[in-house]
């Protein structure tokens, strides 16, 4: 089943899905802007197109991630994104074994 989500007045849109091989995930697109997201489960974020400037919880320095690069977000935390051009991502929700 697909679930469609929209955040920040439509500037971030995602489609969530689940399958046997990769588990629960979402793919989405973000317009230019600054965003803060909270997590339940740990997440693995992959930049599909464009780039994301990321500040993870507990960090003091922002880091750029380009298309093809990944970063992990701890469970029960928040992270900040700065987007300078429309960018796409894949988010995999990670559960502890």
At 12, is the secondary structure helix, strand, or coil? strand
pTM: 0.91
**Span 3-94: which CATH code?**
2.60.120.10
Q: Model confidence over 37-76: pLDDT tens digits?
A: 999 999 999 999 999 999 999 999 999 999 999 999 999 9
Q: Which residues contact 15 (CB under 8 A, 6 or more apart)?
A: 2, 3, 4, 5, 26, 27, 28
**pLDDT tens readout for residues 26-45:** 999 999 999 999 999 999 99
């Amino acid at each position: 089943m697909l679930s469609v989500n929209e955040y920040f007045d439509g500037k971030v849109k995602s489609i969530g899905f689940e399958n046997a091989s990769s588990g629960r995930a979402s793919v989405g697109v973000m317009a230019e802007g600054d965003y803060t997201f909270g997590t339940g489960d740990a997440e693995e974020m992959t930049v599909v197109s464009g780039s994301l400037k990321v500040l993870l919880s507990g960090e003091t320095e922002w880091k750029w991630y380009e298309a093809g690069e990944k970063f992990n977000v701890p469970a029960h935390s928040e992270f900040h994104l700065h987007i300078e051009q429309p960018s796409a991502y894949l988010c995999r929700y990670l559960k502890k074994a």
